Structure 1
Amino acid sequence: MENMLDKLIITALRGKTAAVLFKDGHAAQIDFEPEAAEEETGVIFVGKVKNISKNINAAFVEYRPGVNGFYSLKENARPIYADEKTEHGPLKAGDEILVQVERSAVKTKDAVLTSNLTLTGQTAVLSAGKSSLGISAKIRDKEWRDAVKRRWEATEHGDCGLVVRTNGEASGIDKVFEEFAALYERYLVICKAAASRTCYSVLYRPESFAVRAVRDLKICDGLEVVTDLPEVYKELQDALGITDSRAAENSGTAADSEAAERSAATADSTAVDSAKMACSMAAGMPSLRLYTDDFPLTALYHLETILSQALSKTVWLKSGGNLVIEPTEALTVIDVNTAKSVSKKTSEETYLKTNLEAAEEIAVQLRLRNLSGIIIVDFIDMKEEESRKTLLAALRRAVTADPVKTVLVDMTPLGLVELTRKKIRRPLHEQVR
C-alpha cells in the first residue's frame, strides 16, 4: 500500500506496555516497557563513595540505601561533587558525588555508574565531562556537518559535549543548538540542586517508556502515534506540546478512520492508506491519536501474531527458503536454508537468489528482534567469488537502514558472515519473559 505514514502503536500486550513500529505497512520494531530494575538506567542520584579499590582502579558508590554501584576511576577522571566546591583532593570514601546509572545491575553484577552525565533530546545529546562534538554517521552531508562544526566552535558549552542525532539533519541546525542549550541549562540546574539534596536523592529521571519510544524514532518522514491507553495519550500530549483543541482538530475524522482500519483488518492488512488516516503530520512533529473504538487495537494490527512470529525460531522466505535464528549466551547464529525453494535455474542461481532474499530478511529480523553483539550467518554455500561479493554488498546495504549501528565484518574462510550490532536494550525474547 503506497503513501503510508509510519505508525507507532503503543498498547498493552501480554500484560506489559508495548511499542510497535510499522514502516511501509510491516512491523519493524517491537519494544516492551523495561522492568523496574532496568528503569534505573539514566537516573541521576546523589551517591556516597563507600570505598576505593586501587587494584582495579575503581570505587564503589552507594547510590540507593544499601545498594552499591561500580564506578570506574579511569572513565571518570572528573567527579561531580555534590557540595559545589571547586577544590577537592583525590576521591575518597565518604565523598558525595553525582552519579548516573549507565547500566543496570544484572544478576550478580553491580550497576555501572558514571559522572559523565548524559541528557538525551530528540535531536541532540549532551554529554558532561568532555567537550567534543559528535555527529551521527548517518548524516553524510559534508556541508551540513561542517556548518555544525563551525557553530559548535562558537558555542559556550563549558565542559559538556554534543552528539547530533540523526533527527538533527531534518530538524535543522538551529533546532539542534536550541535543544542543546536547553539540555545545558537542565544540566546546570541538576548540578546546583545537588548541594541542597540529601544523599541517595534522585536529581533527574529520564522520560517514560512511551515518551522515549517516540523521541528515539526518526520522524522527519512522518509518524502517526496511536494508543488506546488514556494515561499514555495524556503523557504524550504533555511531552509533545499537543493541546486538547489541536488533538481534537487532528482527530476530527477519527471515527471514519477507525472504521476504515477495521475494514482493512478484515482484509488482513496491518496499515491504512494515508488518505484514510485521521491525523495529518506537521513538519517534523508526530501526530497523536487516542484510539477509542471497541474493536481491540491489538487485533486491528495483528500484534499477537506479529509478536509470536518475531519470537519464532524459523522465518520463512517468499522463495520457500527459511532462516533458523538461534540466540545463545555468547552470540546469535542464523542459518539460511533452501528448504522448500523450487527453481528451474541452476543451483548457483537458486542459492544466490535465496541468499539475497535472506540478506534482506536478516536485516529486518535483527531490528525486529533487537538482536545485538556478535551475529554469525551461515548462508548457503556458493562456489563463485562474484556471487559471494554480490551477497556481501546486498547485506551491507540492507543493514545500513538500521538506526542501531550494525557492522558487517567479513566472510570467514568457512563461508560464515560475521556482523556486530550495538546493544541498546535487551533482545525481544528476553523482554517478554
Structure 2
Amino acid sequence: MKRMIVHCEPGSTEMALMENGNLVEYAAERSQNRGLIGSFIKGKVVNVIPGMQAAFVDIGQKKNAFLYIDDVLHPHLEKQPKHKPSISELLKPGQELVVQVIKEAIGNKGARVTTHYSLPGRWLVYMPTAGYVAVSKKIGREEERQRLKTIGEELRSDEEGLILRTVAEHEDRQAIDEDLTMLRKQWAVIMDKAQKASAPFLLHQDLSMIQRLMRDVYSPETDELIMDCPDQAKEAQAFLRAMLPGETPRIVVYAGETPLFDHYDIKSRLEKDFQRKVWLPGGGYLVWDTTEALTVIDVNTGKFIGGESLEDTVFQTNLEAAQEMARLVRLRDTGGIIIVDFIDMEREEHRAAVWERLEKSMYGDRTQHHILGWTKLGLLEMTRKRMREEITIFS
C-alpha cells in the first residue's frame, strides 16, 4: 500500500510518499519555480562546436541548453548512420528546432535537451519518431511481455515508437489504445504551436509534481492520497477521474489541528534520513558523503553484535545497509556515481547476496539506475540518473 501525503502552502507544495509505512520519496515544488524536465521548447541554435560534437541552444533560460549529437541523430539505433557525422552537418547557428528538456540546469551547467521526443501517459510512453516498441524490463513474464509488444506493434504507425510501462501489465488493449489516442492529440497540439511560434517559446510543460506522482504510481485499489488543501484535492480528484475513468480515487482532505507532516511524523523522519550519519535498525550505521563528482556511502557495524560469528555479523549488517541505502538513495534523490564501502566479507556467496538485496530493494525506484558490481578494492559501484538539483527541505 502506498500513501501520498501532500502539504500545501501559498506558493509551495511538499509531497511525501510512503510505502508499507516507510518513507521512500520526498519532493518540494515552488509554484513560481516549476521544473522544466519533460517540457517541449522551440529553441534557437546559438553555436555549434564540432570539437565537442554538441550545440548550445537558446531555450529562454539564463543559460543556453546543451544538445549532444546523439540526441540529434535518429532515436532508433538501427536507423542511425554507420559513421557518426559532424554535428556541424546537422545543425547551423540561427536554426530553430523543437527540443525536449531531459535534465534541469544544475550549478553552472545549463539544461540538457534532446530531439528524441517522448510523452509519458498512464500506460505507455509515446515517442512520435522512434519507430520501435519496447516493454518495461520490470515486467518479468515473457508471455505478458509478448502480449504487450504485440498490442504496441498493432497500435503504432510506421514512425511512432511506444514503451509499455510497468503499470500496463495485465491492462487491456482498449485502455492502452485510449492512452495512445490522448498522447497523439497532445503531440499534434505541440507541433501546431511550434509552427506558429518564434524561438525561444515554451510549447508544452510537463505535469505538476503531484500530477506526475499520480500518473506514475497511483493505484486506486490500494493507494491513498492525503492532502491538507481542499482546492488542490478537488483538482487531483478531477485529474484522477479523467486518467482512470470508472475508478473511485481515495482522496482524503486532512483537517486535523496538528500540521499534516507532523501528524504523520514526516518532518522528524526527513531530519533523521538526511543526516550525514544514519543508523540502521540493527545498530549499524551509514556515513554519507557527497562531492561534486560522486557520493560515497560507508557501512559500519556500530552497535550491532548479533551475529554468530564476525563474518555473520558483517553479513547481516551489510544486508541491512543494502536495503536501507536503496530507500535513502531514492528519498534523497541521489544521482551520479555512487560508491558503497560495505564491510569486507570473506565468503563470495555473502557478497552475491548483498548485491541481490540491493538490486531487489532498488526495484521500486523509477529513476534509471545501474548496479555495476564490485571493484577490485571490494567497493560496490552504481550509477543513478540525476535530472534535478539537490532536494531542498522547506522549513
TM-score past 0.5 threshold: yes
Report the secondary structure of 2:380's partner residue. Answer: strand
Q: Find the counterpart in structure 1 of residue 2 from structure 2.
A: 6
Q: Find the counterpart in structure 2 of residue 42 from structure 1.
A: 38
Among 343, 348, 360, which residue is 2:311 paired with? 348
- After TM superposition, list the pairs within 5 Å mapping 1:25-424 onto structure 2: 25-33=21-29, 39-64=35-60, 68-77=64-73, 91-217=91-217, 219=219, 222-241=222-241, 286-343=249-306, 345-424=308-387
The one-character-per-residue Cα deviations of 1:134-173 (angstroms, maximum 9, x if unpaired) are 2111011211211222223222435331111111115444
Structure 1's 31 and 388: CA in aligned 2 closer, same or farther, altered over 3 A? Answer: same
Structure 1 residue identity aligned to 2:43 = G
State percent identity of aligned pairs.
Answer: 32
Larger of the two Rg values belongs to structure:
1
The one-character-per-residue Cα deviations of 1:100-153 (angstroms, maximum 9, x if unpaired) are 222232333232233332211122111233112121110112112112222232
Deviation at 1:304, TM superposition (A): 1.0
Which deviates the most, 65-74 or 119-128?
Answer: 65-74
* Contact map agreement 1:396 1:408 (CA 8 A) in 2: yes
Deviation at 1:11, TM superposition (A): 0.6
Which deviates the most, 176-185 or 5-14?
Answer: 5-14
Deviation at 1:19, TM superposition (A): 1.0
Deviation at 1:402, TM superposition (A): 3.1
Structure 1's 73 and 349: CA in aligned 2 closer, same or farther, altered over 3 A? Answer: closer
* Contact map agreement 2:307 2:316 (CA 8 A) in 1: no
Structure 1's 36 and 72: CA in aligned 2 closer, same or farther, altered over 3 A? Answer: farther
* Contact map agreement 1:157 1:184 (CA 8 A) in 2: no
Q: Which runs of 4+ in 1 moved over 6 A?
A: 281-285
Structure 1's 353 and 196: CA in aligned 2 closer, same or farther, altered over 3 A? Answer: closer
Structure 2 residue identity aligned to 1:99 = V
Report the secondary structure of 2:177's partner residue. Answer: helix
Which deviates the most, 307-316 or 406-415?
Answer: 406-415
1:129 and 1:35 map into 2 onto residues whose CA distance is: 32
Deviation at 1:374, TM superposition (A): 1.9
Structure 2 residue identity aligned to 1:192 = D
Structure 1's 132 and 200: CA in aligned 2 closer, same or farther, altered over 3 A? Answer: same
1:228 and 1:203 map into 2 onto residues whose CA distance is: 32
Which deviates the most, 91-100 or 163-172?
Answer: 91-100
Structure 1's 13 and 337: CA in aligned 2 closer, same or farther, altered over 3 A? Answer: farther
* Contact map agreement 1:377 1:416 (CA 8 A) in 2: yes
Report the secondary structure of 2:71's partner residue. Answer: coil
Structure 2 residue identity aligned to 1:131 = G
Structure 1's 208 and 342: CA in aligned 2 closer, same or farther, altered over 3 A? Answer: same
Report the secondary structure of 2:155's partner residue. Answer: coil
Structure 2 residue identity aligned to 1:327 = T
* Contact map agreement 1:167 1:220 (CA 8 A) in 2: no
Report the secondary structure of 1:309's partner residue. Answer: helix
1:129 and 1:389 map into 2 onto residues whose CA distance is: 41
* Contact map agreement 1:13 1:298 (CA 8 A) in 2: no
2:309 and 2:362 map into 1 onto residues whose CA distance is: 28
The one-character-per-residue Cα deviations of 1:274-327 (angstroms, maximum 9, x if unpaired) are xxxxxxx99876422221232321121011101101211122223221111222
* Contact map agreement 2:228 2:255 (CA 8 A) in 1: yes
Report the secondary structure of 2:199's partner residue. Answer: coil
Tell me the C-alpha RMSD between the 2 structures: 3.1
Report the secondary structure of 1:60's partner residue. Answer: strand
2:246 and 2:203 map into 1 onto residues whose CA distance is: 33
2:374 and 2:47 map into 1 onto residues whose CA distance is: 47
Structure 1's 73 and 178: CA in aligned 2 closer, same or farther, altered over 3 A? Answer: same
* Contact map agreement 2:40 2:98 (CA 8 A) in 1: yes
Q: How many residues align?
A: 382
